[in-house]
Structure formats: C-alpha cells, structure tokens
Amino acid sequence: EAGVTQFPSHSVIEKGQTVTLRCDPISGHDNLYWYRRVMGKEIKFLLHFVKESKQDESGMPNNRFLAERTGGTYSTLKVQPAELEDSGVYFCASSADRGNEAFFGQGTRLTVV
Amino acid sequence: EDQVTQSPEALRLQEGESSSLNCSYTVSGLRGLFWYRQDPGKGPEFLFTLYSAGEEKEKERLKATLTKKESFLHITAPKPEDSATYLCAVGKNYGGSQGNLIFGKGTKLSVKP
C-alpha cells in the first residue's frame, strides 16, 4: 500500500513568487492534515480536511496560504506571494477514522530567497 | 495554553546503554499521546499511541508509558540504528472528532557502537 506522497520534495523560489505543494494521502483516508516545521521550531499544525471540507484551519498563518482538497482526494497548499519567513518543511499527514494515528509524508522543503 | 515539552533536547548513548526520554504536556481535551520517530530528510514515522494514564506499549527495544502529566519512552539496550529524532505529540479533540496534533521539539538520540 502506498504511503502519503508529497510533491515536490524540494522547492526554491524567490520572494514574491507563487508555489503550490501537493499531497496525495493514503487511499481511503478521509482526514488530511498540513503541518509545517520552520528552522529550530517544533512541527506546527496548519489545517485539517475531512474529505473535501475544511474541519479546522486555525493554524493557517495568514491569507497568503490557500489549501484545497478536490473531491476529497489529493490536496494542494498554495503560498502566494511567498515571503522569507515561509521557508521550512511542509508535511502532509492522513488518517482513517477518528482516533487513529496519522501517517506522514516525507515533506516538502521550501526555501524562499 | 496547550504545550508539549520534551527533554533532553539531545542524548548520546553507547550501544547497549539503556535510557529514557521524557515528554511533559498540558492540553485541554486530550485525545491521545503519540510517539513518532523521524530520520533526517524523512517524515515522522508512527510508533505508539497511548490514551490513558497507566497505559504501556512496547515495540522491540522501545516502551512507552503514560501518566496524567507526562510520558516516557524507554529505550532498552539501544543499537546504532535506533539513532533518530523522537517526537512526542498530543492529539486534541475538535468538536468531538479527531483534531490536530501538538508536537514537542523532539529529542535527538545518537547511539554509538
């Protein structure tokens, strides 16, 4: 069974540009999460989808971040325009029913220069 | 405020030298306490979930325990391949269903042969 897959694995963009990260969860997992780890800090929650609906987006830092989950399958996280402080590793995770453990992808390392 | 604190930040052991990692937490609406292992350049890999004080779980050389305020990850006779960053996270309830994880900064474990 395929795990959580994220694309790209690395991205280097200039300040002011747009970047879109993609996450393919484990098939059948209704819950999809986005997390971020910036340098020296802990992994922090951004957003939670249940199927195609946003269950909790309290961790989204500002309106430059837009997450979508089309048809309850894969998800994208767009940063527009990117700022220097957006640099970090973005993780996607998915889980099945409530209470189950979340499985993480390998992450996308975003560097804004 | 919800918080997860892990100690020590880094731990160096000789192969076969047993030790424990600590995770203390304060959170409202605890859904469970999770331990993950993270290798460089990879996403967190699920190890254990603990739900109630007094619960214990084991996997190979690892044993996780839980009290009302903290969790311990005991490593017995570690091997070099146990070297990794160990992450503790607490799960929150969100409207009665599965919510996000709050992570600690992790403990970086190095096991020398």
Across the interface, whether the CB atoms of A107 and B43 are under 8 A apart is answered: yes
Radius of gyration (Cα) for chain B, nearest Å? 14
Structure tokens given for A90:
């973005």
Q: What is the pLDDT of residue B91?
A: 85
Greatest mean pLDDT among A78-82, A94-98, B96-100: A78-82
Tokens standing for residue B8: 């020590």
What average pLDDT does range A15-41 have in this prediction? Answer: 95
A66 pLDDT above the threshold of 80: yes
Using 50, 70 and 90 to split pLDDT, how confident is the model at A83? very high
CATH of the domain at A102: 2.60.40.10
- Among B31, B42, B100, select the one facing A59 at the smallest CB separation: B100
Strands A88-95 and A103-104, sheet pairing:
antiparallel
Q: Answer whether B77's CB lies under 8 Å from B16's CB.
A: yes
Distance from CA of A8 to the nearest CA of B (A): 13
By C-alpha distance, the chain B residue nearest A49 is: B99
With a cut of 50, say whether residue A79 has pLDDT above it: yes
In terms of residue numbers, what domain contains A22?
5-112
How many folded domains does chain A comprise? 1
Q: DSSP strand E in A1-113: where?
A: 5-7, 10-13, 19-24, 31-37, 44-50, 53-56, 65-69, 75-79, 88-95, 103-104, 108-112
* Alpha-helical regions (H) of chain A: none
User: Rounded mean pLDDT of chain A?
Assistant: 93
Domain with residue B100: its CATH number is: 2.60.40.10
pLDDT, tens digit only, all 113 positions of chain B: 889 999 999 999 999 999 999 999 998 777 889 999 999 999 999 999 998 899 999 999 999 999 989 999 999 999 999 999 999 999 876 554 556 889 999 999 999 99
Regarding predicted confidence, which is higher, A52 or B93?
Answer: A52
Interface mutation target, options B4, B98, B102, B103, chain A, most CBs of A under 10 Å: B98
List the domain range (segments joined by +) for residue B45. Answer: 3-112
By a Cβ cutoff of 8 Å, what residues of chain A touch chain B? Answer: 4, 31, 33, 35, 41-45, 48, 50, 55-56, 59, 91, 93, 95, 97-107
Distance CA A32, CA A22 (A): 12
For residue A20, the 8-state DSSP code is E
Place of tokens 């402080």: A85
pLDDT at B93: 67
Which 20-49 residues of chain B touch chain A by CB within 8 A?
31-32, 34, 36, 41-46, 49
Q: Is B92 in contact with B30 (CB distance < 8 Å)? A: yes
A1, pLDDT greater than 80: no
User: Domains in chain B: how many in total?
Assistant: 1
> Which residues of chain B does A99 touch, with a Cβ-Cβ cutoff of 8 Å?
31-32, 98
Q: State which amino acid sits at residue A54.
A: K
User: CA distances (Å), B13 to each of A33, B8, B60, B73, B76, in order?
Assistant: 34, 12, 18, 14, 11
Q: Say yes or no: B1 contacts chain A, CB-CB below 8 A.
A: no
Would you call B100 and A105 a contact, using CB atoms and an 8 Å cutoff? Answer: no
